Amino acid sequence: MISPLSNDLFDADGPLVITPPRFGDSRGWFSESYNQRRLAEAGFTTCFVQDNLSFSAHKGTLRGLHYQSPPHAQGKLVGVMTGAIRDVVVDIREGSPSYGRWAAIELSEENGQQLWVPPGFLHGFVTLTDNTRVAYKVTDYYSKEHDGSVAWNDPDLGVDWGVDDPILSDKDAAAPRLKEVAPLFPAGWDGA
């Protein structure tokens, strides 16, 4: 049900893949997309304060790389309601052995997987289908003063999005490189 996104890339406080069980029959399936007690029994005790929904009409829509900095840093639990995405995380915790490294996973309505993106990581996704709906829970409320983006195509990060010419918001198209905004999560930052 819960496993690290990449055993060899991030430390124990890194991103996690959560796969809620599905129960199906001839009508389709049912799944508890979030069950706090079940997750706590598995060692995941994060609390969420807000749910967000995102709709992208076209395949190739890229949203990211986003962050919300301390003291209002956000962790996110991301899942796909309809369609599919290539979901990307980048470790930007100064002093972390995986600083600047990225990983990606496909999340879809088909596989039902969710991605836990801890505070201290950039997050973004590109849609792999038209009419994609993404739902995510966050650990802190939105704060405009702490909200920001890093360039999706920052050459220092080298993220492989699987697209060459994505559909971007004005904010994401003008986002600076990581080295122009770092350190956002300085060494010794406790994650709170």
Q: Which domains does the chain have, with CATH numbers?
A: 2-21+46-181 (2.60.120.10)
One-letter amino acid identity for 25? D
Number of H helices, E strands in the chain: 3, 13
Are 1 and 20 a contacting pair, CB within 8 Å? yes
Residue among 54, 60, 29 at smallest CA distance from 167? 60
Rounded Cα–Cα distance for residues 6 and 183 (Å): 24
Backbone angles phi, psi at 172, to 5 degrees: -70, -30
Strands (E), 57-101: 62-68, 76-82, 84-91
Give per-residue pLDDT as tens, 51-99.
999 999 999 999 999 999 999 999 999 999 999 999 999 999 999 999 9
Query: What are the catalytic residues?
Result: 66, 136
Low-confidence winner among 48-52, 86-90, 185-189 (lowest mean pLDDT): 185-189
